[in-house]
Structure 1
């Protein structure tokens, strides 16, 4: 390479470095400006519509109403807060309240409340609120290349557009990434919309994740905001202790059930009598359940042509939801949703839970949780049951 060409390459590299520095500084400036604006008020509130698409083909929608009150002397958060979350179409409604003394989760639908550990809550909720997320995001351009996107209009509001590349790698020719798009209102300097798109390896599978937060109705320095005086409403009670029933013992006749699989076919335990049955109780998003998918797929592949049936039953999710889940994760065995009554009959304490049913319809064994030796134990159990 000639001296002239080498000089051109160095010049081009310097220009790219300068441009990257300018864009990174512009992003930090926009985020810092938003942080400064929020911190400049004695209190502020906003509403947020959160739409999430992760393990299924269904979109989950939540409404948030968050109120923050500055508390300069507070060492835990620096704010007092009331964070209200309600999931549309489901009976999930909670208000997390921090009044400077306690973190209290209030459940209006059940007239119940419970106290949370402040330190654990602080660690888990660092990026779950807008102020915390902005502070976390501010340092990202220094860690990964990011860029300024084209200015755009959202619902008639003109916005700056910053793109943050949080994670980017290639594994076995598969491209994994996490990208965050932040749209800042040009007039107010506050976030209008934040979108995260993610493709990551998870327990041997590929998970695509999308979440969009639409912010609106910002209010500042409102009168009569006194979060320190907020506490548990009158008449509310701690969660009622629910008796934990023992798992059904080996030798017990397995309770019959009838459900519909994702392809609309009716399936009952009675019609499976004479076969060895593995009942896999799960719910979408459960960590142990996700970890078990690869092992279950191998077990199904090994025994599908023998006198064996593997049925996965969700106690929390609808048939529509598990249909999308099955498609996304290429699950081959029958999957049923709407299994709350079945879970109750089998004394489900949590998930994953695996019941092994012999050819006579009796419980042969049960395993609660997923462990590294699950596949080998299950293979041994099935071989033994098939040989009888």
Structure 2
């Protein structure tokens, strides 16, 4: 059980980091002949501005950030948010009295984009897979109409490249979130009992992670069943844990806007032989993934290394669709470990390894660990999952 105190890294980032992020984006923009990119979603907005607010939980007010080809980003925000930018490096803040449904910042956003899009008249936005615009369809149509003489292009691919390589400061925040969750799993190992419900188990772990320094834990799910489980995206429920059950908890603790994302398994009373074999197989698959995850390897190489172990162990299939993904400001980020994946791993990428197998009808076993790609291989960001399945008696 983890006993050493966890030391949280410094919050926020230096001015130099925000300048570097913006310069990286502007280099991509010059290559693509894009005059400006506008962002409407919290992770991208925060990534370039440093603006961190719980107001994103409300759908009432939109928030826009415009990144021109030169100079600092420009914030186009509701009046209620202007004062918050005193805590950021942004000094050009334009506002309107939101909420104003008839024109909730769209004309102000359009005017700003027209102002900075004079060379190529090409404007970028997050239009690709795994993205959203966070604005009503009518507002987007209004924006397109005003920008009729400008070409609207997808900026999501270059954002993937920029955000996939984490700085040392970002990695420190993710590592701390991972260590908090790992300590929470350890705590739970010593505080679970037959007869507890899934909800009680998850709540106990949630409270412990908050005590250890997590800011919040918006993602904490569980599943249980006799000898395994058949669903890993629901719960927790009020189902009482009984002898022969296997419980999985999958959690994403958050610190200063950065996530961890991994799971661990517990057996109650006893573990059936095929359950133990499945646990051993996914543990071995993770070991294979740890060996494969290195600069120059691809996401497909990592997937194949893990799947080869699971297939040899008799896996009936993998219902998750991938075996790991990127991690950072969002619980799941690009890229994914998929068959024939062609994304080349680079130092600074933070990823999960998530081998899972169906080992019997309606029974699954899944492991997930968090790593960062280094110059020579990869590094676990937390203590390794237990080699043997823990038995709760």
* Fold shared per TM-score above 0.5: no
More helix by share: 2
- TM-score if structure 2 supplies the norm length? 0.25
- TM-score if structure 1 supplies the norm length? 0.26
More strand by share: 1
